[in-house]
Structure 1
Amino acid sequence: MSRRPAPLRPRLAATAPLLVALAVIGPLLAACGSESVGAGSAGAGAAGSPTPTPVTDPGMDGVRITSFTGPGDSAISAAYEVTNDGTEALTYSVIFTFTSSDGGSMGNKNVSVRDLAPGKTARGTIQADQLPSSAPLVTGAKVSQVLKVPAAEAPAEPGTCPASGIRVNTDEGEAAMGLRVVGLHLDNCGTGTYTVEGYPSLELLDKNHKPVTGIRILKGSSEITTGAGPDEQPRPITLKPGESASANLVWRNTTQSGTPVNVPYVRIHAKPGAAPVMVTPGLDLGTTGKLGVRPWKKTETR
């Protein structure tokens, strides 16, 4: 599963930056809430009563667009629903794409639906951003990507602290010349000290949350690149409340002979016995067969 949505049209990218996904989760919705983040697209007509058009597209992984409003209305928007047909509560991270008549991407919206119980459906609305007058009309919307993790293992919402007192998440990462680096971040948001030593424990999982085999998880990154700095020896790190640590995942997406491997999910244990957290860094490992992990290092405060 690719983490990267369809690219925006080049002539729009400079004038209308739009939200894209990572690691970690976008604007939050309650189970039946909605998200509205901008005025209607250029090309919309005079203000008037919205006229939603039903959409019968089956969608993706339980997520679908149910109706589309526009163009010609006061705002361009789409209604959606997310249905959990599994057996456990799930947290969803979804990328919706507004499209033109030729199917081109006119902008992406990230939506998160947390703690959706089995058999339940969450509904909401997304609204298109305002586009320049030269832009093609937005004529539809589609589901571009669906990521879902067990609610019990989902990264904590920004500004909240889980019962463990430890918050784990990832950043958007960096990419250059086929080299990828994604940071893992560990925050002590609790009231006591927390000590880690060595490397975070990783489980690589496929789109069905099943183990991905055939990948060597290396301690350090020197076998992959020297660009991430020399490998450092792990040492005990004690975090006081409010302090943080980080570790990096390093890989190349080189593709040669064989079948490329993509890993949408990674289950992380900060240390042995720690509660698992499932993140979605989207590891495009190509055919390299290896992933480097650097040890936890205390984050310097500024």
Structure 2
Amino acid sequence: MRTLRLTPLTVPAVLAGVLALAACGTEGAGAPRAGGPSCGPETAAAATGGTDPAGDEGTGDVDIVDIVGSDVASPACAPAIRITSHEREPFTYTVTLSFLSDSGAAMLNTEQTVPAVGPGQTVRRPVDLAAAEAAGAGSGPGAGTPRHVKVLKVRSVPVDEAPVPSGACPPSGVRLTADQGDAAMGLRVVGLHLENCSAAPYHLDGYPQLQLFDAAHRPVTGIKIRHGSSGSVGAEFDAPPRPLTLQPGETASSGLTWRNTVTDGTPVDAPYVRVRARPGADPVMVTPELDLGTTGKLGVSAWHKSEADTAR
């Protein structure tokens, strides 16, 4: 990934077809903002990469555009995210950005969400520079004013399956989210969390139902989903399922565990997991970034109430 001084970094090949970075002015090449400096012309970073849903990376969801002359430190030419959807239904995009110092040192990574991009719709959102300004007030190797921004990762999920961590309760009556997980010595563990945000009891009995998908939203097959962790995580993870009733406001947790061991064969990555809390439940697509190596295995634990709710 090469760095362009005073510009957003060019989008790397592995993200072809996934993100657009735009600067100030109109969509026309080199058009300056009224009363401000020209930020340079837009140039296509990938002519066709944004329309190939069968590619190894990306989803064919957006057009790639690179803006020459954008400067994070210049309010008139601050970068923006521009996404043009080629999906057949609305998708929500989460873009992971890294702010860099003038020397190229990473200062801070942030996520920015662009919700509900409809089929054929183009949306443009300014990059949130508040986090970059906070990083610039720090000290150490990355201290100073952020001068560049680069794309680390882009993920997208159907709007109807996007996690709803806060706000109005989803029509399903429950919130299902995944945490950031933990990794040690090649063992990965990611928690799944379910909150009953409805006014009625919610019943669980068993394990979440899972479907795995790659970066292009294609189903990942050949992975054995097993109950428990075979003792590698702990007794709670391997506890057998039992019927649970979540009263309004109560929560339950499950978890995913895997190893990223690579031996013979092709490593498998499945960034997306479609989760159903119980048979027939509305699906929620989370992004635990499963780097399954060549193990062909993924462990899942049974639902159990949170400690606070169990103690009631």
Which TM-score applies when normalising by structure 2?
0.73
| Residue identity opposite 1:191 in structure 2 | A
Alpha carbons 1:49, 1:73 under 8 Å: kept: no
Q: Write the deviation string for residues 33-71 of structure 1: whole angstroms up to 9, x where unpaired.
A: xxxxxxxxxxxxxxx967644453537752655466437
| Residue identity opposite 1:119 in structure 2 | G
1:145 positional shift: 1.2
1:122 positional shift: 1.5
1:269 positional shift: 0.6
Alpha carbons 1:170, 1:182 under 8 Å: kept: yes
| Residue identity opposite 2:217 in structure 1 | H
| Residue identity opposite 2:161 in structure 1 | E
Structure 1 stretches lacking a partner, 5+ long: 1-47
- Equivalents in 2 of 1:200, 1:64: separation in Å? 39
- Equivalents in 1 of 2:190, 2:259: separation in Å? 12
1:188 corresponding residue in structure 2: 196
Which TM-score applies when normalising by structure 1?
0.75
- Equivalents in 2 of 1:185, 1:72: separation in Å? 39
1:300 corresponding residue in structure 2: 307
1:238 corresponding residue in structure 2: 245
1:254 aligns with 2:255: no
1:136 positional shift: 7.2
Q: How does 1:199-218 map to 2 (within 5 A)?
A: 199-218=207-226
Q: Write the deviation string for residues 4-56 of structure 1: whole angstroms up to 9, x where unpaired.
A: xxxxxxxxxxxxxxxxxxxxxxxxxxxxxxxxxxxxxxxxxxxx967644453
Alpha carbons 2:90, 2:116 under 8 Å: kept: yes
Q: 2:178 aligns with which of 155, 165, 170?
A: 170
Specify which structure has the bigger relative contact order, considering alpha-carbon pairs within 8 angstroms and separated by 6 or more residues.
1
Percent identity between the two aligned chains: 48
Alpha carbons 1:51, 1:70 under 8 Å: kept: no
1:110 positional shift: 1.0
Secondary structure of the 2:212 match is strand
With 121-130 and 176-185 compared, the bigger mean Cα shift is at 121-130
1:107 corresponding residue in structure 2: 108
1:41 corresponding residue in structure 2: none
- Equivalents in 2 of 1:285, 1:177: separation in Å? 14
Distance 1:105 1:186, change over 3 A: same
Secondary structure of the 2:295 match is coil
Q: 1:58 aligns with which of 45, 59, 69?
A: 45
1:144 corresponding residue in structure 2: 152
1:37 corresponding residue in structure 2: none
2:284 corresponding residue in structure 1: 277
Distance 1:102 1:53, change over 3 A: farther
- Equivalents in 2 of 1:54, 1:137: separation in Å? 24
Alpha carbons 1:64, 1:143 under 8 Å: kept: no
Root mean square deviation, CA, Å? 2.8
Secondary structure of the 1:301 match is helix
- Equivalents in 2 of 1:84, 1:216: separation in Å? 33
1:155 aligns with 2:163: yes
Alpha carbons 2:253, 2:304 under 8 Å: kept: yes
Distance 1:71 1:289, change over 3 A: closer
Distance 1:245 1:180, change over 3 A: same
1:195 positional shift: 0.2
- Equivalents in 2 of 1:106, 1:75: separation in Å? 22
2:206 corresponding residue in structure 1: 198
With 66-75 and 196-205 compared, the bigger mean Cα shift is at 66-75
| Residue identity opposite 1:124 in structure 2 | R
* Aligned residue-pair number: 255
- Equivalents in 1 of 2:72, 2:228: separation in Å? 52
| Residue identity opposite 1:96 in structure 2 | L
- Equivalents in 1 of 2:171, 2:68: separation in Å? 39
Secondary structure of the 1:221 match is coil
Q: Write the deviation string for residues 136-185 of structure 1: whole angstroms up to 9, x where unpaired.
A: 76443332211011111111142331011111010111111111110001
Structure 2 stretches lacking a partner, 5+ long: 1-34, 47-57
